[in-house]
Structure 1
Amino acid sequence: MTSRPSPGLTLAAWLGAAFLHIPLLLIILYAFTSEDRTYTFPPPGLTLRWFGVAFARTDMWDALWLSVRVACLATLLALLLGSLAAAAMSRSHFRGKDAFSLLITLPIALPGIVTGIALLTTIKRVGLEPGTLTIILGHATFCIVTVYNNVVARLRRISPSQIEASSDLGARPLQTFRYVLLPHLATALLAGGLLSFALSFDEVIVTTFTAGSQQTLPIWMFGELFKPRDRPVTNVVAILVMLVTLLPILLTQRLSSGGDYMHGGGKSS
């Protein structure tokens, strides 16, 4: 193979990148437009006025902090349950193991509307009222998968002889976990947690079924889209969402570079 790609392959790569990122650039552009009702191109003028309007909205800040709280708690729950499931699946051998592994990863593969309907039905069956708790539980169902996939892949690369050697040297289980397993799992846990936070923070479909009267930031943004005069405000908040979700993804990519690959996947919608 040549060291440089062919012109056709280079062109295809640039076209693919443009297809993905031009809509994002338009969102950023129209956050600065001076026109509040129509999106004429090019914008008739540029202004920072909409940033002040957006940051003065108390309902936006309430939705933002709710999204942050939900994402943090869903991530913590996913780290706990996903790690336990990964530990059990990586060291156990039983009939139906592959089917059970599929069941664990299924929530992130199913369309979001199917997951949302299933969660809403379950919530009503057990007598819970949709709210913050049900949003957290709903988000944890697919966040667990990102943690599980990262941790189980890392555990499969750890030689059992290391754990056996630790036991032979008299280490207790907690000591083995702290000094042998945790150093190997630290980056996998962090990568899975960061991906979980990003997925939870911008989730819309599952949240619609589990939120009740609560409004996370993506739900707030969806409602604002139907108010023509507030569309530039929505674009400003969209930039904020992109920044909040981009940072964990960049950190995850950095942690996974150099041979440690992510196994998180994305949420189907």
Structure 2
Amino acid sequence: MLRLGRGTKITLAVITALILICTYIPLFVIVMNSFNANKVAGWPIANFSLIWWEKALTNPAMHAALLNSIVVASCATAIALLLGTLSAFALQRFKFYGRETVNLIIILPITLPGVVTGVALSNTFYQVLDPIGIKVGYMGMIIAHATFCVVMVFNNVIARLRRMNPNLEEASMDLGAGMMQTFRSVTFPQFRSAFIAGGLLAFALSFDEVYVTIFTAPPGVETLPLWFMNQMGRPNEANQVNVVATVIILLSLIPVYFSQRVSAQAANDLK
């Protein structure tokens, strides 16, 4: 067992405390400023009010932006779950010429800067497809998000497939189970936690994507991150951002809770 000296323990404790402070103090300031009665966010807060909560939660532009973010993230995640899982199975279970090249092509979008991906897709949509009569519109934004969401699912699923025991599937089929029954009863339960974790990561990545959205969103369409950016440019309305950010912080506790449950289940599956 590794034993740490007193000085090392103190140093690690101080570093940990500084990291926690730098992470959670800004979040605390956001939450408190959502109750700030002043038009401009600041600290310390002199007067508290719920006026910004009323304005933000009844703002139709915010409602539309939130709905767009949910729709785009949900559709991109659904595409990513399908393509990412199928790609993982293809690359893990089959050997074919160019397999490593295909693997590189799949993971490349997540390694590229978002602005590069956004410019590339924008040029494709509006300078290549538009002139030949193909209008991608809203669907183009979903496709753009799916390009990097696929990687999240792919990485999680293929990592789990590499640790799975193929003998269990063979035993199931030897006992008379068909391919689909084996998949439902034996294969899927083994990588289910990785499948869910990849979906959660894909949804979160799509929900707060900015760069790709800026270049691929149709005119007049805002997602929540774009609405945040536009509101921050209006100092007298910036506190509405604090309200919506506070709501998102609270809602984020839900996937965090489920991701911990999934991680615990995955750990138990490997025992």
Q: What TM-score results when the alignment is normalised by the length of structure 1?
A: 0.89
Aligned in 2, Cα 1:53/1:139: closer, same or farther, shift over 3 Å? Answer: same
1:17-96 equivalences under 5 Å are 17-37=20-40, 39-96=41-98
Q: Distance in 2 between matches of 1:221 and 1:241?
A: 12
- Bigger fraction of residues in helix: 2
Q: Distance in 1 between matches of 2:207 and 2:252?
A: 7
CA contact (8 A) 2:33 2:42 kept: no
1:111 aligns with 2:152: no
CA contact (8 A) 2:88 2:157 kept: yes
The secondary structure found in structure 2 opposite 1:147 is helix
CA contact (8 A) 2:193 2:265 kept: no
Cα offset, 1:259, TM superposition: 5.5
Q: Distance in 2 between matches of 1:153 and 1:40?
A: 46
1:2 aligns with 2:3: yes
> Percent identity, aligned pairs only?
42
Cα offset, 1:239, TM superposition: 1.6
RMSD between superposed Cα atoms in Å: 2.0
**Counterpart residue number, 1:141:** 147
Q: Distance in 2 between matches of 1:153 and 1:8?
A: 35
Q: Distance in 2 between matches of 1:258 and 1:41?
A: 43
Q: Distance in 1 between matches of 2:3 and 2:77?
A: 44
CA contact (8 A) 1:83 1:147 kept: yes
Q: Distance in 2 between matches of 1:86 and 1:63?
A: 33
**Counterpart residue number, 1:158:** 164
Cα offset, 1:93, TM superposition: 2.3
CA contact (8 A) 2:109 2:147 kept: yes
CA contact (8 A) 1:225 1:231 kept: yes
Aligned in 2, Cα 1:26/1:8: closer, same or farther, shift over 3 Å? Answer: same
**Counterpart residue number, 1:190:** 196
1:232 aligns with 2:233: no
Deviates more, 1:97-106 or 1:225-234: 97-106
Q: Distance in 2 between matches of 1:49 and 1:126?
A: 46
**Counterpart residue number, 2:256:** 249
CA contact (8 A) 1:130 1:211 kept: no
**Counterpart residue number, 2:216:** 210
- The AA in structure 2 aligned to 1:77 is I
Q: Distance in 1 between matches of 2:61 and 2:107?
A: 35
Corresponding residue to 2:205 among 199, 208, 224: 199
1:14 aligns with 2:20: no
CA contact (8 A) 1:195 1:249 kept: no
- Runs (5+) with no aligned partner, structure 2: none
CA contact (8 A) 1:198 1:249 kept: no
Residues 144-184 of structure 1: per-residue CA shift (max 9 Å, x gap): 11111111111111112122222222322211211111111
The secondary structure found in structure 2 opposite 1:6 is helix
- Runs (5+) with no aligned partner, structure 1: 262-269
Q: Distance in 2 between matches of 1:65 and 1:73?
A: 12
CA contact (8 A) 2:77 2:199 kept: yes
Deviates more, 1:156-165 or 1:9-18: 156-165
Q: Distance in 1 between matches of 2:202 and 2:259?
A: 11
- The AA in structure 2 aligned to 1:223 is N
Q: Distance in 2 between matches of 1:243 and 1:105?
A: 31
Q: What TM-score results when the alignment is normalised by the length of structure 2?
A: 0.88
CA contact (8 A) 1:130 1:210 kept: no
CA contact (8 A) 1:201 1:245 kept: no
Residues 50-94 of structure 1: per-residue CA shift (max 9 Å, x gap): 101111111111111111111111111111000000100111223
Q: Distance in 2 between matches of 1:17 and 1:23?
A: 10
The secondary structure found in structure 2 opposite 1:257 is helix
Q: Distance in 1 between matches of 2:69 and 2:86?
A: 26
1:167 aligns with 2:168: no
Q: How many residues align?
A: 260
CA contact (8 A) 1:151 1:185 kept: yes
Q: Distance in 1 between matches of 2:148 and 2:253?
A: 19
Q: Distance in 1 between matches of 2:76 and 2:152?
A: 12
